[in-house]
Amino acid sequence: MVGNKLNLPTLHSLFKNKIEILLMKLKFLSGVVLSTTLIVGINVTQASFSCDDKRYCKEMVSCDEAYYHLQHCGRKSLDRDKDGIPCESICVAQKKPKAKKPKGDQKPVPEAKGFDLSGIWLGDGYKCDGNVSQQRIKIEQKGYAIVGTKITGDACVPADYRTFSGRLDTLNVTWTTGYANRPACCKMTGQLTLLDNNRIGVNGFQFKFARIASKATEDGDLSGTWLGEGYQCGWQVFQEEVEIKQQGNAIVATKITGDACVPAGYRSFSGALDTAHITWTTGDPNNPACCQEKGILSIIDENTLKGGGITFKRDIKPDRF
């Protein structure tokens, strides 16, 4: 100060020295690098960070430093769940908890409305100890609840065991899994994909189901005349005609034309459509229609059946005028 006049350079030097001492103390206590900026003769203190070799949350001194490295230095690894908040062990107070949906308040998946999956399905992609197979299951549906039970199985999850259960309003299901030496021992969760009313996929797996028969064959009545391609007797293969009669789920097929192993007039097969299990009549030329053999009948569509190596086509007569 000169006389009554204020000497600004002297005043600035005085305050600068005091502030630098204070900054040194703060630096020692907190480890944060601080600097001073002279703006029109006034010293302003602010945090200053740099994109140095710090890469991990354990190296960050404060939440501000973590944000700096995330936003300015591109350290995306600091925000593992990609919610915009880095180093949540430091910045956890700023993370808002996710609101939980109350149970029973979940709306049905739009694609699930109007679907009835009840019926017999063929599952392609079942795996057991390295072996892949096709297996038939029966799906029962009540409301949105579904249960799939194996008709044919394997050593890991045998026939008659539940293969999955769940709900269509969420598409979440619980699978029964196992090993050859510990069948049906375990559970795992998954999610179905409704491809259409006759095809189901499984998210994350190359595993698909195709409907082969509807509930109690609501798709139609199988009664009528059918042509069977693939009947075998000895070394010969024949096309033969059968008449199928259906009453509810029960079906009986009688041969209209036959061969030396199972002649005409004999029962070709009989069974129940709700399980797809049938019993074949078999024989040989020296002992015709002597024996029986268990099998599976697949309803491909209302005019096509498959089973025992034989493909049946409905014999549709042309309309006569």
Q: For the chain, which residues score pLDDT lower than 50?
A: 1-6, 8-12, 27-47, 95-106, 216-219, 319-321
Q: How far apart are the C-alpha atoms of 311 and 196, rounded to whole Å?
A: 25
Neighbours of 278 (CB within 10 A): 22
Tokens of 147: 């249960």
Q: Given this model, what pLDDT does residue 92 score?
A: 66
- In 131-278, where does DSSP find H-type helix? none
List Cα–Cα distances, 304 to 37, 195, 245, 314, in angstroms: 87, 22, 15, 7
Q: Given this model, what pLDDT does residue 26 score?
A: 54
Q: Architecture of domain 110-214 in CATH?
A: Beta Barrel (2.40)
Q: Do residues 217 and 273 touch, judged by C-beta distance below 8 A? A: yes
In tens, the pLDDT along 12-35 reads 455 555 555 555 555 444 444 443
Q: Which CATH number fits domain 224-314: 1.10.3470, 2.40.128, 2.40.50, 1.10.10?
A: 2.40.128
Neighbours of 6 (CB within 10 A): 8
> 110-214 with 224-314: one CATH topology?
yes
Domain boundaries, the chain: 8-94, 110-214, 224-314
